[in-house]
A = this chain, B = another copy of it.
Amino acid sequence: MRIHAWLEQNRKEGISLLQKMVKTSSLQGHEQDVQLLVSGKLQAMGLDVDMWEPDGEELKHHPYFCSPRSRFTGSPNLVAVMKGSGGGRSLLLNGHVDVVPPGDRAQWQSDPFSGEILDGKLYGRGSTDMKGGNAALLLAMEAVQSLGICLQGDVIFQSVIEEESGGAGTLAAIVRGYRADAALIPEPTNMRIFPKQQGSMWFRIEVKGLAAHGGTRYEGVSAIEKSIIVIHHILALESQRNTQICDPLYTGNPIPIPINMGVIKGGNWPSSVPDTVTLEGRMGVAPEEKLEEAQQEMASWLARLPEKDPWFAAHPPELTWFGARWVPGSVDPAHPFMEVLKEQYEAVKGEAPLIEASPWGTDGGLLTQLGETPCIVFGPGITGVAHYPNEHIGLDDVFQAAEIIALTIIRWCGIDGGGMPDGSTTES
């Protein structure tokens, strides 16, 4: 396999590129440096680069806009197109370049942006989520190009900002007009293939009580005790929503669309009965569900609280939606792009891939629902360490993913001049 051989020969340079990407911190608002790095790589590959700062003033009116900011000065998006000769299917390769904060430094063995390699793993914030995946995309494209393989369809590479806060970067690229016949996002899937992706939204619920002195607490109504009823009520909603899920892609997932209670805060004085408790959490949205439907279901469910406790009739909790949200995505598991990807996976790995619905959100739903670009999520990163201290990625996985993606590009976009699907030509 020429792709495989090329990747082996260029392994050192590939690792070096990934290491540089990881060492270049790219927290929200500071993506420019890593984008320049990636842009340099694309230009070295002879590609024209479209690098622009999204227009927040325009974007913010878009119904799918979700970001804590509306000015993107110093935070450019990046797109480069490997033009095909025509007549083939196009493929969009999307990867986000923003990373979440490192968190508690004390829990990291080394500097969070060390990029150091130990035992075949590269460490650092963003290594797995998702610069390792982005590097796999670049390696795949470079392999195809270096081997002189002329594609029929276009390959559109996107290095976007703002995935971690709700997709404003991918939205900006969609609004700019980029479309394709299919898309792949190499988020950290442990090398599983996700034709469907969960969406999610953040909710806040404020529960009311009645203040009193702690020594005569029976004169008050504890918002903590009332919030317990709310929490149990929401667990019941989660149970009901998940009982209705029968998609085989969720087999083995104990709670396909969870409702996670993430934060609780209430009261401000040990000697007082607390009169407010605030809950914040994340509501999973099924791949075929609309965000608005899920919101409505939560609101209607909370409206039933008086059945559990009459206190809530006169003191209904206040529900708001805030912060980040991810549009769910759903592509038929029998979609032609799925066939191609599965085939190349099996060719490289020697076994069939695991096909699942993702338990977390990505920009995939935006591409599928808004960008008319059916998007599959598949990548080399390790789900369990994304967002955690000591985040890392297995380098072998990066190169295997690159190989699978390269072969997928070739097979999907088609070769000009009838080369073999496996990348070999009559020369090999």
| Chain A residues within 8 Å of B, Cβ to Cβ | 198, 200, 202-203, 211, 213-219, 222, 224-225, 227-228, 231, 254-255, 258, 260-274, 277, 280-282, 284, 323-324, 358-361, 383-384, 386-388
Separation of A214 and B201 alpha carbons in the complex (Å) = 11
Given A200-B215, A255-B218, A360-B215, are A282 and B271 also a contact pair (CB < 8 Å)?
yes
Cα distance A220–B211 in the bound complex, in angstroms: 34
Docked CA distance A198–B193 (Å): 64
Bound together, the chains give a CA A227 to CA B203 distance in angstroms of 21
Please determine whether B267 and A215 come into contact, CB atoms closer than 8 angstroms: no
A282 to chain B, nearest CB (A): 4
If the complex has contacts A260-B271, A264-B266, A270-B262, are A215 and B198 also in contact, measured as CB distance less than 8 A?
yes
Which listed residue (B215, B262, B264, B265) contacts A271, Cβ 8 A? Answer: B262
29 pairs, CB–CB < 8 Å, chain A vs chain B: A200-B215, A211-B388, A213-B359, A213-B360, A213-B386, A214-B258, A214-B260, A215-B260, A215-B358, A215-B360, A216-B258, A216-B383, A218-B255, A219-B384, A224-B261, A225-B231, A227-B264, A260-B271, A261-B274, A262-B267, A262-B269, A262-B271, A262-B273, A263-B267, A263-B268, A264-B264, A264-B274, A267-B280, A270-B280
3 closest cross-chain pairs (CB), A and B: A214-B260, A215-B360, A262-B270
Within the assembled complex, what's the spacing in Å between the Cα atoms of A324 and B255? 44
Point out the residue from B227, B269, B284 that lies within 8 Å of A215, measured CB to CB: B284
18 extra interface residue pairs, beta carbon distance < 8 Å, beyond A200-B271, A214-B262, A271-B324 = A202-B270, A202-B271, A213-B359, A213-B386, A214-B260, A214-B282, A215-B258, A215-B282, A216-B258, A216-B360, A217-B258, A224-B264, A262-B270, A263-B270, A263-B274, A264-B265, A264-B267, A264-B277
Specify the chain B residue showing the minimal Cβ separation from A324: B271
**Known contacts A222-B261, A264-B224; is-contact A270 B255 (Cβ 8 Å):** no
- A224 vs B358: C-alpha distance in the bound complex, in angstroms? 25
* Oligomer copy total: 2
In Å, the complex CA distance between A214 and B202 comes to 11
Partner of A260, one of B261, B273, B358: B273
Task: Report the minimal beta-carbon distance from A322 to chain B, rounded to whole angstroms.
Answer: 9
Inter-chain contacts of A202 with B (CB < 8 A): 270-271
A274:B262 contact, CB within 8 angstroms? yes
Q: How far is the CA of A264 from the CA of B216 in the complex (A)?
A: 19
Would A270 and B323 be within 8 Å (CB), given that A264-B264, A360-B213 are in contact? yes
Most chain B C-beta atoms within 10 Å of own C-beta, residue among A198, A202, A262, A281: A262
In the complex, the answer to whether B270 meets A281 with C-beta atoms within 8 Å is yes
* A361-B215 contact given A200-B271, A224-B231, A270-B281, CB 8 Å threshold: yes
Q: Among A200, A203, A213, A222, find the residue whose CB has the most chain B CB atoms closer than 10 A.
A: A213
Q: Which residues of B contact A282 (CB under 8 A)?
A: 214-215, 270-271
Q: Are B270 and A260 in contact (CB under 8 A)?
A: yes
For A258, the chain B residues whose CB sits under 8 A away are 214-218
| Contact status A272-B267, CB under 8 Å | no
What is the CB-to-nearest-CB distance from A108 to chain B, in angstroms, rounded to a whole number? 15
Whether A260 touches B323, Cβ cut-off 8 Å, given contacts A280-B270, A282-B271, is no
Nearest residue in B to A211 (C-beta to C-beta)? B388
Chain B residue nearest to A265 in the complex (CB): B265
Of the listed residues A211, A277, A282, A388, the one surrounded by the most CB atoms of chain B closer than 10 A to its CB is A282
Within the complex, the shortest CB–CB distance from A223 to chain B, in Å, comes to: 9
Chain B residues with CB under 8 A of A255: 217-218
CA distance A273 to B282 in the complex (A): 10
A219: chain B residues at CB < 8 Å are 384
